[in-house]
Amino acid sequence: MTMRRQIMIVACALLAGCSGGGGMARLQQFVATADAGYRPPVKPVPKIPAPHIVAFDMHHFIDPFEPFAMRLPGRGPNPNQHIPKGPLQHFPLDAITMVGTLSAGPQLWALVRTPDHATHRVQVGTYMGEHYGRIVRITPRKIHLVETVAGPTGWVKQPVTIAIK
């Protein structure tokens, strides 16, 4: 007999020994009946009291999210916050790009593109940006604006430029 044949005979004998008839039936019966009568104790859900409802009226309080300068009218160069905003005042200045210029005699217009891919013609005096930016000068390569922003002690004017891309 070869070594290979001897290993096969031993393996078959081991497998035949594992499939003993009565052991498996008893195991299946034990698994089926082991937890048949067991019921774990369950605590009842606790009663949650109804919350006490308080009406909050903030009309006479200061809005904590409003910039401090907006609470102080008369300090610095106050922008007119009640005029309707133009289409270019709904975008931040860093989202608006200068794409070119147009000229007719001494008059110079700038062409700007907004994030929604619309192109607008602007001139000196046009308002742009979310912070009341007003165009004060247009050159062939730049748009010069002055923004009115809320500072810690009042409104502040700051110069901004947009260069052609």
pLDDT at 11: 79
Task: Tell me which amino acid residue 30 is.
Answer: F
CA 84 vs CA 28, 80, 81, 132: distances in Å: 81, 10, 8, 11
The rounded distance, in Å, linking the Cα atoms of 132 and 154 is 15
Whether 136 shows a pLDDT value over 90: the answer reads yes
Whether 123 shows a pLDDT value over 60: the answer reads yes
Per-residue pLDDT tens digits for 42-69:
899 999 999 988 887 777 777 777 665 5
Range in 17-26, 47-56, 136-145 the model is least confident about: 17-26
What tokens were used for 106? 């001494």
Q: Can you list the positions of beta strands (E) in 11-141? A: 97-104, 107-113, 119-122, 127-128, 133-138
pLDDT at 96: 95
- pLDDT over 90, % of the chain: 41
Per-residue pLDDT tens digits for 93-117:
999 999 999 998 889 999 999 999 9
Mean pLDDT of the chain: 83
Task: Name the residue ranges covered by the structural domains of the chain.
Answer: 1-165
CB atoms within 10 A of CB 122: 21
- pLDDT over 70, % of the chain: 85
What tokens were used for 122? 């602007």
Under CATH, which architecture does the 1-165 domain have?
Roll (2.30)
